[in-house]
Amino acid sequence: MRKLATFIMAGRLQAVSIAVLLAILGVFVPPFTLLSGAVIALVALRKGAMPALVVIGWGTLLLSALTLGLFGQFAIGVIYAFAQWLPILGAALLLRRTVSWSVVMQAIALVGMFGVVLTQLLYPNAAQLWQGVLQTSLAGTLERIGMNANEASTAISDVAQYFTGIFAVSIALGVAISLTLGRAWQAMLYNPGGFREEFTQWRIGQPFALAMLVLVLAAVVLRNTLLVQLMLVGLVPFLLQALGLVHGLVKQSGMNIGWLIAMYALLVFATVQVAALLAAVALADCFVDIRSRLAKRP
């Protein structure tokens, strides 16, 4: 990763070429999309807004030309830039200015929640639109794993009710992860060891945590689809905070790295349950400061 980060920072052409290459690879292997966003984050964090905008501009032109040749769609490159690179640029510039992960993560969550509300206002029947999309893309897969047509249709209908929120969660997580990778690359090149300190120490402020507790309780009690979707997006920063918390506790207590491997493995195989548990731990940490309490113990 150090060599890749060094190559990206060697010049504008290198940054553009790597960002576009990773974006194209992301069409076939989605995690590469996160690395493409990390390129934009690294340039913005280190050099500021204008150099990053230049990279995004040339990258959009090149990506659009490539998608025109590969898929016959010039607009894909423009849509990608607006949906992926520009949000990451905004988050990176905010982090560059505030040097506060808490502020940035809250901003990412609030923008995502605003997007959910705006979609609900502009497209009251968004669930029906999502149902059509999911029916086309998932029905065959669900039937192949053992569901009959009625069961698959019911499952898709249930998911479609919340899919605007799920989509917003995926965007928010993508922005947050790309920004985290870009910050890690920046520290690797210019401030070795600095990223670990940042990542393991930041906490969401108590006012936002308290507001989220109220939202979670309201969503659970009322079971309103909009409140549930807002809750899902609002919990994204707490998931990231919990990951940093666990990393910090493992280092602080001298525990084996196997605990981290186990945590990420569980996130892959039991994503919803483990993510909910981690978010709950992070919410508690906002009020009781788990790190400090454990540090005081002999």
pTM of the model as a whole:
0.91
In this structure, is residue 286 part of a structural domain? no
Residue 170, sorted as left (phi over 0), alpha (psi -120 to 50) or beta, turns out to be: alpha
Residue closest to 108 by CA, chosen among 37, 174, 154? 174
Query: What per-residue confidence (pLDDT) applies to 146?
Result: 67
C-alpha distances out from residue 208 to 158, 211, 283, Å: 29, 5, 10
CA 61 to chain centre: 25
Query: What per-residue confidence (pLDDT) applies to 66?
Result: 83
Count Cβ atoms below 10 Å from residue 85 Cβ, excluding itself.
27
Please give the tally of structural domains in the chain: 1
In this structure, is residue 282 part of a structural domain? no
pLDDT digits (tens, 9 = 90+) for 221-233: 998 999 999 999 9
Which residue range forms the structural domain that includes residue 67? 1-98
pLDDT digits (tens, 9 = 90+) for 77-99: 888 888 889 999 999 999 999 99
Both tokens assigned to 56: 């995004």
Alpha-carbon distance of 242 to 199, in angstroms, equals: 10
In this structure, is residue 154 part of a structural domain? no
Please answer whether residues 283 and 238 qualify as being in contact, where contact means their C-beta atoms are separated by less than 8 angstroms. Answer: yes
In this structure, is residue 79 part of a structural domain? yes
Please answer whether residues 187 and 5 qualify as being in contact, where contact means their C-beta atoms are separated by less than 8 angstroms. Answer: no
Count Cβ atoms below 10 Å from residue 187 Cβ, excluding itself.
19
In this structure, is residue 175 part of a structural domain? no
Alpha-carbon distance of 152 to 143, in angstroms, equals: 7
In this structure, is residue 264 part of a structural domain? no
Query: What per-residue confidence (pLDDT) applies to 296?
Result: 63
In this structure, is residue 227 part of a structural domain? no
Both tokens assigned to 67: 């998608």
In this structure, is residue 201 part of a structural domain? no
Positions in the chain short of pLDDT 50: none
